[in-house]
Amino acid sequence: MSETRASGGHRDPSANHSRQIPTRPNRRINNEQERQLEGDRQRIIETLKKGVHNKLNRSGLSSSQLIILRPRVSPLPSSSPDSFNYLSNPRLYCLEHGIQPDGYLTEERKKADPDHGFSTFFSETGQGKYVPRTIYCDLEPNVVDEVRTGTYRSLFHPENMITGKEDASNNYARGHYTVGKEMIDQVLDKVRRVADNCAGLQGFLVFHSFGGGTGSGFGALLMERLSVDYGKKSKLEFCVYPAPQNATSVVEPYNSILTTHTTLEHSDCSFMVDNEAIYDICRRNLGIERPSYENLNRLIAQVVSSITASLRFDGSLNVDLNEFQTNLVPYPRIHFPLVAYAPVVSAAKASHEANSVNEITSACFEPNNQMVKCDPRNGKYMATCLLYRGDVVPKETHAAVATLKTKRTIQFVDWCPTGFKIGICYQPPQQVPGGDLAKLDRAVCMLSNTTAIAEAWSALDHKFDLMYSKRAFVHWYVGEGMEEGEFSEAREDLAALERDYEEVAADSMDEEVEAEY
């Protein structure tokens, strides 16, 4: 989440990956070793100069409220960044609601229905301007400064963009215990002010990364404090999960395991996405050979918009924040739904696709349309939310679900036979001008709680074990006030989480065996 360069005299833990941790504090280093270390340092600096930082979001709703953090993303090929890279969600919401970059309504929207769901994500000022219920926070200013100076600079309240002076250097402990602790009270004060202006606060959507120092450390600290101050309000996370092959930092497994352990009791529902999966979707479905972060963010924005659409627009089957956890989370710890979105088609291909309700529903159950690299055919579904938008009627959705239930590749656990929660919003998906996605009459976002998501955890746990067995990079965390025992505690908690998923699947298998007898 925060940049990997060291600041304030602190070194990036991942920059030390080319040599072993010193066993003696006064070990001599000869000239050849010094030249090698200097070469490694220069290569890391050059890599960072070429990297582009993505800005997702962090949010909560207006009957909720938005909080936006700066996540790290994988170093995929990218064009030069602009403020839109960090504003994909707010920009899309503005287009959907007819709000201009300065916060005022378009002439067309003024003539339409005046109460068009604005209050969910926007508050209205006395001058008729709409301001997002959003808080941007980061431990260093570079990325948020691009929002402050970008096209949408007049849209956001300047006091709700909070930055520190030094980053977390890819270190969970810096984000959670040292640098982050200095800024948390200021952020919570802004959260209280925005929450007090909500007519009926439903909860928070928090966007952050798992692999970076700010996203993992400060994100976990914020979730802890939100639980204390707003214990009964929903807290939903959108997490940028470390991609299996495209790593931005050597210490991503440490940060990810530590933040998951810390937030496990404080998050009601966590929607994970990984850059590798989204990159593959853009390349395969949209024909983009070298997707940029803007391409990735536009797709993620469509997913988030679909999830929150029923809060903002009319529909026959609306879903609110509380319903997500009620319908998706059978046990408190099993709260990591798999996200899928369909159809993802380019404008060139759209005219050749029927995109019927039945087709797009079936597409969501294919691994190629899912936001995390795992194969749901290897697991069993506990619950599924199908969130339709656009030209869709209940009769078509029921027929599509009936077709799904006949497929042997889609298996539900025996103790949850119903399986499907359906939401319909009449507002069709909105496309960003000049974007990659085709303008469509209908779309569906699927949120499914499946035991297959444990595959993602097991791969990350394996990487954690390889490093921690040698205690590699641990001293950087201990040096920031963290106890070494927290590593073992976090790893044991993740092992227990994997076992929880295994037991859920095993219970279903046991019942199947009993039925055969």
Confidence bin at 357 (pLDDT 50/70/90): very high
Q: Which residues are catalytic?
A: 323
- pLDDT at residue number 168: 94
The CATH homologous superfamily to which domain 65-456 belongs is Tubulin/FtsZ, GTPase domain (3.40.50.1440)
**Tens digits of residue pLDDT in 128-150:** 899 999 999 999 999 899 889 98
- pLDDT at residue number 22: 38
Instruction: Examine the pLDDT at 11 and tell me if it is beyond 70.
Output: no
Confidence bin at 222 (pLDDT 50/70/90): very high
Rama region for 72: left / alpha / beta (φ>0; ψ in -120 to 50; rest)? beta
Which H or E element spans position 342? strand 338-342
Residue-averaged pLDDT of the chain: 81
At residue 9, what is the residue type? G
CA distances from 481 to 170, 173, 181, 476 (A): 15, 7, 12, 9
Please state, in angstroms and rounded to a whole number, the distance separating the CA atoms of residues 322 and 314: 18
Query: Which one-letter DSSP state was computed for residue 287?
Result: -
* CATH of the domain spanning 458-516: 1.10.287.600
- pLDDT at residue number 69: 52
Instruction: Examine the pLDDT at 47 and tell me if it is beyond 90.
Output: no
Block residue for tokens 């929150």: 308
**Do the beta carbons of residue 178 and residue 480 sit within 8 Å?**
yes
**Do the beta carbons of residue 148 and residue 192 sit within 8 Å?**
no
What average pLDDT does this structure show over 221-229? 96
Q: Is the backbone peptide bond immediately before 376 cis, with ω within 30 degrees of 0?
A: no
Domain range summary for the chain, segments of one domain joined by +: 65-456, 458-516
**Tens digits of residue pLDDT in 104-124:** 988 888 877 656 677 888 999
- pLDDT at residue number 60: 37
Query: Which one-letter DSSP state was computed for residue 216?
Result: I
Instruction: Examine the pLDDT at 189 and tell me if it is beyond 60.
Output: yes
Block residue for tokens 């479905």: 285
**Tens digits of residue pLDDT in 57-97:** 333 334 444 555 554 433 333 232 223 334 677 889 899 99
What average pLDDT does this structure show over 360-388? 92
CA distances from 338 to 63, 345, 367 (A): 25, 21, 10
- pLDDT at residue number 218: 96
DSSP notation for 162-215: EE-SS--TT-HHIIIIIHHHHHHHHHHHHHHHHHHT-SS--EEEEEEESSSHII
Higher local confidence (pLDDT), 248 or 195: 195
Percent of the chain with pLDDT over 90: 51
Q: How many helices (H) and strands (E) does the chain have?
A: 18, 12
